């Protein structure tokens, strides 16, 4: 295997505590060596015809980004996205690992589908970690065989999109997952309170004549789940709250953490940037679940990110075909794409506007989500780790245009938005997965 020598760049590896000019040698899919600029060229094995050199002068190097919440739509909905196109979009966005949700057709509730998704024939540009369904068909009734799913490669279980409402099933899910060391991810939505609803409940929904999802539909389930984790304290059950969108849900997570429970949460860029006002006049690219919330909720997301309560930024990348979104708002499917805009928006807003240190922003996009799902050797560039690297120009401002997307779909409210930090190369396990010049 060819080796890659990246020289002249500024390496930021929050997990390893590195922040400085470093050269880095990647070999056999792993990080082989890190040294001060110029040192590696003379060292053994770092020169010669098999070594490809990448000049990263003026650029920043960081562990490849990790998105623990994406919908790659395969199997079954290849017209929206395939594993190949979704991971190409991920690579363009600087991601080297994505965790794929199981709401595929059929639902990924088996070791066979879990393996199928990871097969080289899918043509993934970067590493895909399947998240398996918690229950058979995600129907919330029968628990799947977590040991078998884990050995097939599943990194967590969830019934994302079809939240587990029954207390006893959720308790059993948490306990069974804890026994095999898997996390349980919950899309917290009490669907009994959201029937027929297509945006956040509140004055905007009233004005638009749309039925609303009350914030309690989210926080109520988070509170219920935390009660169950408390009961299962001795089992060390891990609950991860997906795409947190309400101040009340964050408050519950904050409280649970204070009590020493294994409760983590993620926030999507659209939930820390946008509010229900961005729905405008029925913009279906501002329709997702959980919906864009009130300004107070959005501000609570920002506060919680800055305060460290939020463990990860995850995109909830949810591609839909154009024709599916060109319909009446209440009939449009939920979800927006996000893999290509997460880094640019995070740097533009969290770092630039709200002065979060770059290392912490990157940690939320790599080290923390990798640790959260136990993805060993990811989210860091310590020697011996996977050679997953994102190389970007941290100061470059650019405009995101969906017409240039690698994804099959274009459903995003961020078309035309100014981004900061342009990805130059993304390297996945030592191979160049994305090169902005080609």
Q: Decide: is 308 part of the binding site for other proteins (CB under 8 A).
A: yes
Q: Is 297 a catalytic residue?
A: no
Local structure of 267: helix, strand or coil: strand
Q: Decide: is 79 part of the binding site for other proteins (CB under 8 A).
A: no
Mask 209-248, x = binds other proteins (CB under 8 A)? xxx-------------------------------------
Phi-psi label, residue 243: left if phi above 0, alpha if psi -120 to 50, beta otherwise: left
Written as six digits, the tokens of 430 are 């030592």
The one segment of 115-123, 163-171, 268-276, 378-386 that binds other proteins by CB under 8 A = 268-276
Torsion on CA atoms 7, 12, 14, 17, rounded to nearest 10: 70
CB of 255 to other proteins, least distance (A): 9
| Closest listed residue to residue 94, CA positions, set 55, 72, 125 | 125
CB closer to other proteins out of 108 and 366: 366
CB closer to other proteins out of 15 and 170: 15
Q: Decide: is 326 part of the binding site for other proteins (CB under 8 A).
A: yes
| Strand segments (E) across 198-241 | 199-200, 212-213, 239-241
Q: Decide: is 152 part of the binding site for other proteins (CB under 8 A).
A: no
CB closer to other proteins out of 20 and 203: 203
Torsion on CA atoms 417, 423, 427, 433, rounded to nearest 10: 60
Q: Decide: is 354 part of the binding site for other proteins (CB under 8 A).
A: yes
| Closest listed residue to residue 269, CA positions, set 213, 214, 196, 351 | 351
Q: Which of 274, 339, 342, 373 binds other proteins (CB under 8 A)?
A: 274
What's the angle, vertex CA 132, arms to CA 412 and CA 402, rounded to 5?
15
The one segment of 16-24, 71-79, 125-133, 300-308 that binds other proteins by CB under 8 A = 300-308
Of 316, 393, 404, 435, which is the active-site residue?
316
Q: Which of 19, 303, 393, 397 binds other proteins (CB under 8 A)?
A: 303
| Closest listed residue to residue 315, CA positions, set 291, 285, 295, 336 | 336
Q: Which residues of 363-394 are buried (b: 16+ CB within 10 A; e: fewer)?
A: bbbbbbbbbbbebebbbbbeeebbbbbbbbbb
CB of 299 to other proteins, least distance (A): 7
CB of 350 to other proteins, least distance (A): 10
Q: Which of 95, 116, 146, 349 binds other proteins (CB under 8 A)?
A: 349
- Residue 188 CA to residue 185 CA, distance in Å, equals 9
Q: Please, are residues 6 and 56 in contact by the beta-carbon 8 Å criterion?
A: yes
Q: Which of 98, 304, 423, 432 binds other proteins (CB under 8 A)?
A: 304
Q: Decide: is 17 part of the binding site for other proteins (CB under 8 A).
A: no
Residues marked active site are found at 316
Binding site for other proteins (CB under 8 A): 195-196, 202-203, 206-211, 254, 257-258, 273-275, 277-278, 280-282, 295, 298-299, 302-304, 306-309, 323, 326-331, 349, 353-354
């Amino acid at each position: 295997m060819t080796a890659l020598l990246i020289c002249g760049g500024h390496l930021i590896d929050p997990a390893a505590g590195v922040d400085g000019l470093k050269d880095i040698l990647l070999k056999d899919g792993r990080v082989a060596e890190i040294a001060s600029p110029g040192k590696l060229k003379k060292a053994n094995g770092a020169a010669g015809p098999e070594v490809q050199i990448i000049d990263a002068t003026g650029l920043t190097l960081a562990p490849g980004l990790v998105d623990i919440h994406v919908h790659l739509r395969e199997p079954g909905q290849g017209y929206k996205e395939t594993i190949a196109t979704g991971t190409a979009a991920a690579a363009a966005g600087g991601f080297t690992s994505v965790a794929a949700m199981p709401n595929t057709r059929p639902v990924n509730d088996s070791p066979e589908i879990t393996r199928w998704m990871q097969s080289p024939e899918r043509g993934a540009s970067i590493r895909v970690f399947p998240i398996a369904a918690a229950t058979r068909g995600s129907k919330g009734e029968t628990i799947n065989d977590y040991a078998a799913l884990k050995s097939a490669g599943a990194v967590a279980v969830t019934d994302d999109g079809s939240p587990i409402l029954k207390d006893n099933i959720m308790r059993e899910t948490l306990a069974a997952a804890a026994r095999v060391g898997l996390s349980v991810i919950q899309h917290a939505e009490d669907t009994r309170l959201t029937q027929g609803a297509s945006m956040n409940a509140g004055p905007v929904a009233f004005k638009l004549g749309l039925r609303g999802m009350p914030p309690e539909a989210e926080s109520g389930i988070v509170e219920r789940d935390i009660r169950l984790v408390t009961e299962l304290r001795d089992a060390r059950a891990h609950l991860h709250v997906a795409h947190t969108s309400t101040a009340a849900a964050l408050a519950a997570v904050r409280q649970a953490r204070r009590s020493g429970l294994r409760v983590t949460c993620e926030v999507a860029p659209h939930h820390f940037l946008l509010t229900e006002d961005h729905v405008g006049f029925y913009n279906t690219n501002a329709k997702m679940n959980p919906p864009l919330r009130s300004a107070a909720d959005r501000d609570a997301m920002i506060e919680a990110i800055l305060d460290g309560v939020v463990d990860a930024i995850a995109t909830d990348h949810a591609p839909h075909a154009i024709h599916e979104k060109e319909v009446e708002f209440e009939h449009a499917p939920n979800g927006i794409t996000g893999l290509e805009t997460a880094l640019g928006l995070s740097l533009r807003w969290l770092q630039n506007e709200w002065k979060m240190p770059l290392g912490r922003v990157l940690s939320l996009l790599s080290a923390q989500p990798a640790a959260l799902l136990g993805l060993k050797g990811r989210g860091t560039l310590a020697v011996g780790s996977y050679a997953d690297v994102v190389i970007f120009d941290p100061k470059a401002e650019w405009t995101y245009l969906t017409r240039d997307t690698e994804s099959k779909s274009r459903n995003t409210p961020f078309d035309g938005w100014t981004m900061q930090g342009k990805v130059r190369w993304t390297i996945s396990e030592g191979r160049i997965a994305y090169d902005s010049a080609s």
